[in-house]
Amino acid sequence: MNAQGEIERYKARLVAKGYKQKAGIDYDEVFAPVARMETIRLLISQAAQFKWPIFQMDVKSAFLNGVLEEDVYIEQPPGYMKVGEEKKVLKLKKALYGLKQAPRVWNTRIDTYFKENGFKQCPYEHALYVKKNRGNMLFVALYVDDLIFMGNNDEMIEEFKGTMTQEFEMTDLGLMKFFLGLEVRQVETGIFLSQETYAKEILKKYKMANCNPVSTPMEPGAKLSKFDGGERVDTSRYRSLVGSLRYLTCTRPDLSLSVGIVSRFMEEPVHSHWKALKRILRYIQGTMTLGLFYSKVEDYKLVGYSDSDWCGDIDDRKSTSGYVFFMGDTAFTWLSKKQPIVTLSTCEAEYVAASRCVCHAIWLRNLLNKMDLKQLGATVIQVDNKSAIELAKNPVNHERSKHIDVRFHFIRDHVKEGNVELVHVASRDQVADIFTKPLPKVLLDKCKKMIGMMDGRSI
């Protein structure tokens, strides 16, 4: 497939019957890390800030480079059997597509190669490698057989391309333009990230390409329940559409809440849930050119926002947490997720949300430190509930907070150590509001602008 979603060529592969493998005999460990989407967005943000071009390469038939630790035998493939020895089997010398351990042994192979060539693996993002040499830096992010890389020295970049081509059969894709369904436009003023082609494919697949657009992904005040009556809908079709929309949130934070809400009804969806899904598609129809624009700013540091609704789920009365983090003016990581417990006050709900936000902030600070973007001083997290801020600063044990689980008090240690600082923000300026409840058009548009979303046609 090309960047327009069109088939460019057809390929055929010899694939092993991995489903016949037995654990402990034919394979052991199978996990292989890939770069998180938020790490990819962070790298794009960093490239825009320092005006570094981002390049992309692809390893051809990557899994065939993996070295097997186990003895694995396969049947002779049809059409390629050796005459007179049809009953014999083949012993694999290298990994083959279809084997359960193929991704892991490939990752082990390229991980070893990187480390032998002066790269250090980031301990907080195992698919990110950094090479430093006399003030020069090269960053490489790995997603299976796709590599994106950037740095502040052209010679290091060209040397990396050359050595990779010598070691593996590579395709040099030049500047990063299309990566995992993400469209990347590198211009003089910054980098625009979108999924317009992918959005069009979703609308076409579900016969909504000519639907009438709406201004919000979910009606303000809408309340869906798993006990909603009505006709049952096709569960597989419902789940497939939800999954497609979840991937669209990689560049569309404005969809995170609505997609999260419809995801709660995957078990037994009914007509009202399907109607809510179709509304999201109608919203996409009118906003498919939206994306995130990363550019150079004066104050390039980590800032977070945390928010929560209260008892928003009418089935179990759990609240929804939302947070978003910025490096500069554009968001690069965000979350909209139902809380694990029922809270008894807005203060408690905001406190639980802030605790999760702080956990993410600590990981981000560690990651940024390894990316040579060390954060000086505390990371500011903006919260619009003063009681929750006070609770984070002082071990108050009054009637309304003494029952809160100790795991959520994790936040106090990091406030005390100076890693994070909770600061009050007016509700009208709380950008994380977009991740906690359906907003009317005016507030939604305001939050989208604050997040750094732009129409790609204006760039």
Quick one: pLDDT at residue 8?
83
Mean pLDDT, rounded, for 194-203: 97
Q: Which of 139-143, 175-179, 347-351, 403-407 has the lowest mean pLDDT?
A: 403-407
Q: Is 354 exposed, middle or buried (0-12, 13-18, 19+ CB in 10 A)?
A: buried
**pLDDT band at 12, cuts 50/70/90?**
confident
Which residues does residue 294 pair with via DSSP β-bridges, in sequence order? Answer: 191
Q: What is the pLDDT of residues 370-379, one digit of tens each?
A: 999 999 999 9
Mean pLDDT, rounded, for 255-272: 97
Mean pLDDT, rounded, for 425-441: 97
Secondary structure element (H or E) that encloses residue 273, with its range: helix 271-287
CA angle 401, 406, 410 (to 5 degrees): 105
Compute the distance between CA of residue 127 and CA of residue 8 in angstroms, rounded to an integer: 29
**pLDDT band at 3, cuts 50/70/90?**
low
- Residue 24, pLDDT > 70, answer yes
**pLDDT band at 398, cuts 50/70/90?**
low
**Would you list the domain boundaries of the chain?**
18-188, 195-287, 297-454
Query: Per DSSP, which regions of 392-433 are E strands?
Result: 420-424
Q: Which of 139-148, 359-368, 370-379, 405-414 has the lowest mean pLDDT?
A: 405-414
Quick one: pLDDT at residue 407?
72
Secondary structure of residue 458 in the 3-state scheme? helix
Quick one: pLDDT at residue 173?
96
Quick one: pLDDT at residue 11?
85
Q: Which of 200-214, 269-283, 399-413 has the lowest mean pLDDT?
A: 399-413
CA angle 292, 287, 328 (to 5 degrees): 15
Asked if residue 373 lies in contact with residue 46, where contact means CB atoms within 8 angstroms, the answer is yes
- Residue 457, pLDDT > 90, answer yes
Superfamily of domain 297-454: Ribonuclease H-like superfamily/Ribonuclease H (3.30.420.10)
